[in-house]
Structure 1
Amino acid sequence: MRRTFRILFTSFFFFLSLGLYFTNRLMYIKKKDDDFILKREKDAGRINLEEFDSLPKRDVFITSPFGYPIKGVLVEPHPSNRYIIFAHGVTETKMNSIKYMNIFLKHGFNALIYDHRRHGESGGKTTSFGHYEKFDLKAVIDWLKKEKGTDLVFGIHGESMGAATMLLYAGMLEDGADFYIADCPFSDFKEQLSFHIKKEIKLPPGLFLFVADLFLRIRDKYSIHHVSPITVIEKIQHPILFIHSQKDDFILPSMSKDLFAQKKGMKMLYLAANGLHAQSFNKNSQDYENVIVEFLQKYVGSESFSI
């Protein structure tokens, strides 16, 4: 009896420890320091603070449907109804979106950059890799439409988790933008976690995923299976530009290829020759801009976009 009890107690403690460990790593993933991000972008020449400070802009606070504030910056240098919203990657902040924003400002767009929940200056206690973030993105879009009117021509640019968030918003909630740019998204969160479990722990991922999913359902009230852009991509009718670095070893480029293959209708795919994860712009900046301009010319229907 004592031996049986010890086995049961040891098994319970193992599963409890395993579940807490994995869900802590997901829910409270270590973020980059805000000052580190700013310095990195400045040192690389991707942010010129004098130029950014001189732009006509204002801070905005948008209420999440979950009650916390979402911090954004609305940048409006143009008397135009063209806007683009930027959704950054996990561990980053809105400051990482400025390099992408500059491309669109150059081509006549106004912009809204914002911090995801639990990142930067926004509230929120946990990171959910797109599940709760997609509702926040909808709140940001609803705010912009209410503020600027419904006759906007607007798109969304997402990087990594931000790209997955954008696709989940468009495929699960509403296909509410005129175009989307998905830079290095994962196609399925379960597959992404499986890849990293096999890579880091070198064990079959089944048990780890089962325990992680069970604890996520209890602790953060969602399932890994809810975070799957590939299952909803066919519902998105507006055009999508998929971007991925060919050498990305964190989110494999095959995930963007799979999403591209499943997307019906208007779409483009750009596989950058250089750079690892989320480095397509950093290592291929002119090609990156060129393919965006080509995409806008083809699908937004204006000859005013030029290299």
Structure 2
Amino acid sequence: MKKGKLKRWHKVVIALVIIVIILIFVGTYFLFNFAFKRGGYSTQVGEKVNTTWIKKQNPQVWHQTNKSGLKLTAYYLPAKTTTNKTMIVVHGYGSTGHKMNNYIRMFHDDGYNVLAPDDESFGRSQGEYAGYGWKDRSDIVTWMNMIDQKMPTGRLGMFGISMGAAAVLFTLPKAPHNVDFAIADCGYNSIYDELKYELGTLFHLPTFPILPIARIYGNIFAKYDFYAANTKQTLAHNKIPLFIIHGNADKFVPVKDAYINYQNDHGPKKLWIVNHATHADSLNKEGHVYVEKTRAFSEQYFK
């Protein structure tokens, strides 16, 4: 009799464990889609930006078909005066190329051509899952190669904000020889650390087992391993001059990431921590100082 009851309890426990595991996998699937899938969290954090200026400039619309067979879109704005210097401006999570309006205008006013892509799954580009800067690396290089075809003697600079800054930091090892410098404003040091931070601050949830399971979903649905994305790897041998900017009041990508990225880099580098600036707010907070500092860095390294 006791053995029979014990067996029943074993079955109950096993059934409960299976149910809990299923619930964890289902819950993580919803969290994964919330963070990665088009129309998820990115639509809630997308900033409201006046894009009137860039639309009035009537930029050229460029296209590429990436390795996943997806059609991507970018906007190219030639300088007022002919130049061989071009800035690639990469948007953040929940944003688009057009929403980089203020940064495009800043570099255009400095006299440069500007290319602003819509990353995969954002804006007018196809795709269902965010690349968080890691999957976007090859696409950014393709955009740069397209510029090189247009201007074989051209020089390139890279700029990114938030996820776009991380994309810049992740792309540096793949950058063509004519990339003269990079500017990264409030970029994270790894996708894993950023998701861990967001899990804790937004949902008060543990990293384990959520992120290991999300990694499985990432490999299956988004077709990349976000565990592999970190600047310790991508900046280890970097020699391209790098300017890191970060607000010390950033609650979305903590300012510690700026120090980690700065430490991970081994080329000419500069770090500017902007007092009282929240996430992606340094240009708004510092205005002309931001413009002058980025201009000085660009002029110093553009060949």
TM range (shorter): 0.7 to 0.9
TM-score scaled by length of structure 2: 0.88
Alignment size in residue pairs: 290
Matches within 5 A, 1:24-103: 24-28=33-37, 29-32=40-43, 40-42=48-50, 47=51, 49=52, 51-55=53-57, 57-76=59-78, 77-103=80-106
Q: Tell me by how many angstroms 1:83 deviates.
A: 0.5
Q: Tell me by how many angstroms 1:95 deviates.
A: 1.6
1:107–1:10 CA distance, 2 compared to 1 (3 A): same
Preserved CA contact (<8 Å) 2:120 2:131: no
Matches within 5 A, 1:152-301: 152-171=154-173, 173-174=174-175, 176=177, 177-300=179-302
Q: Tell me by how many angstroms 1:54 deviates.
A: 5.0
- Distance in 2 between the 1:269 and 1:61 partners? 34
* Residue identity matched to 1:164: A
Match in the other structure for 2:32: 23
- Distance in 2 between the 1:101 and 1:110 partners? 9
* Superimposed CA distance per residue, residues 266-296 of structure 1 (whole angstroms, 9 cap, x where no aligned partner): 1111111233111111221111111112212
TM-score scaled by length of structure 1: 0.87
CA RMSD of aligned residues (A): 2.2
Larger radius of gyration: 2
Provide the identity percentage: 20
Q: Tell me by how many angstroms 1:198 deviates.
A: 2.3
Q: Tell me by how many angstroms 1:116 deviates.
A: 0.7
Q: Tell me by how many angstroms 1:56 deviates.
A: 6.4
The gaps in structure 1 that reach 5 residues or longer are: 302-307
* Residue identity matched to 1:255: D
- Distance in 1 between the 2:267 and 2:241 partners? 7
Q: Which of 120, 129, 132 is the aligned partner of 2:132?
A: 129
Q: Tell me by how many angstroms 1:167 deviates.
A: 1.3
Preserved CA contact (<8 Å) 1:70 1:116: yes
Preserved CA contact (<8 Å) 1:18 1:211: no
Q: Tell me by how many angstroms 1:66 deviates.
A: 1.5
* Residue identity matched to 1:18: G
Preserved CA contact (<8 Å) 2:54 2:105: no
* Superimposed CA distance per residue, residues 201-227 of structure 1 (whole angstroms, 9 cap, x where no aligned partner): 334423222222233223333223112
